[in-house]
Amino acid sequence: SAVISQKPSRDICQRGTSLTIQCQVDSQVTMMFWYRQQPGQSLTLIATANQGSEATYESGFVIDKFPISRPNLTFSTLTVSNMSPEDSSIYLCSVELGRGSEAFFGQGTRLTVV
Amino acid sequence: KQEVTQIPAALSVPEGENLVLNCSFTDSAIYNLQWFRQDPGKGLTSLLLIQSSQREQTSGRLNASLDKSSGRSTLYIAASQPGDSATYLCAVPYSGTYKYIFGTGTRLKVLA
């Protein structure tokens, strides 16, 4: 299994500013992902955080808006840049220990942009 | 393109009832399916993982079944309790990848 610590757990931010969310895993993992959950919606994958290379973004998400770092196999950050109220969501970090294995999630970061 | 649907969207039942939550997916070429629980404003807790070679998995009062050929999975909750109140999500991987597509969720409320 994997235990994921995500920080901050919540934040209220002014529009136009940026917020960096941290994800720390208690073991080395290959696959790490960032998801967004907009109010009343299910989860949507933002990107795959690749260690040592640029993140792989899903359709509709771009690096300028959601830059991601993955400096090692236990840590990643997601930045939400130039925020607007539409960015108000829960952002979740997830890891998988291998193909076909269970996915584990952090407790999420609840972001409100005012 | 994989699409995942959950029925019903919301469910309210008295305590003690047995429940069935449904999950449908359009592409049967999956290697697993996972059920999660989400409490309001919180992250996801994994409940059950079913590999494509399995028909069902059990954990306590929870039982999940998988029928790949028909593109369906069910989550059975026995003797429901108020503490079971949460949103239940199913997820399957994108074809050939590690990435998950999530269903729309079922909001469950168990009344004391």
Return the number of CB contacts < 8 Å for A and B: 54
> What's the pLDDT tens digit per position in B14-41?
999 999 999 999 988 888 999 999 998 8
For residue B12 the two structure tokens come to 């309210």
Q: How far is B1 from chain A (nearest CA, A)?
A: 13
Q: What is the pLDDT of residue A107?
A: 93
Q: Among A18-27, A30-39, A80-89, B90-99, which is the least confidently predicted range?
A: B90-99
For residue B44, give the nearest of A31, A99, A105 by CB distance.
A105
- Report the chain A residue with the minimal C-alpha distance to residue B103: A42
- Measured between beta carbons, the chain A residues lying within 8 angstroms of B29 are none
**If you average pLDDT over every residue of chain B, what do you get?**
93
Q: How many residues belong to chain A? A: 114
At A38, is the pLDDT very low, low, confident or very high (cuts 50, 70, 90)?
very high
Q: Is B32 on the interface with A (CB under 8 A)?
A: yes
Q: How far is A22 from chain B (nearest CA, A)?
A: 14
Of the candidates A34, A38, A50, which has an alpha carbon nearest to the alpha carbon of residue A113?
A: A38
What is the DSSP code string of A25-94? ESS--SEEEEEEE-TT--EEEEEEE-TTS--EEPTT--TTTS-EEEEETTEEEEEE-S--GGG-EEEEEE
Which residues, other chains included, contact A41 with Cβ-Cβ below 8 Å and sequence gap of 6+?
none
Q: Is B5 on the interface with A (CB under 8 A)?
A: no
Q: Is B98 on the interface with A (CB under 8 A)?
A: yes
Q: What is the pLDDT of residue A31?
A: 85
At A43, is the pLDDT very low, low, confident or very high (cuts 50, 70, 90)?
very high
Q: Is B84 helix (H, G, I), strand (E, B) or coil?
A: helix
Average the pLDDT over B68-79 and give the result.
96
Tell how strand A109-113 and strand B86-93 pair up.
Answer: unpaired
Which residues, other chains included, contact B53 with Cβ-Cβ below 8 Å and sequence gap of 6+?
none
Interface test with B, best of A9, A42, A51, A107 (most B CBs within 10 A): A42
Specify the residue for token string 């989860």.
Answer: A43
Q: Is the pLDDT of residue B97 over 80?
A: no
Q: Is B102 on the interface with A (CB under 8 A)?
A: yes
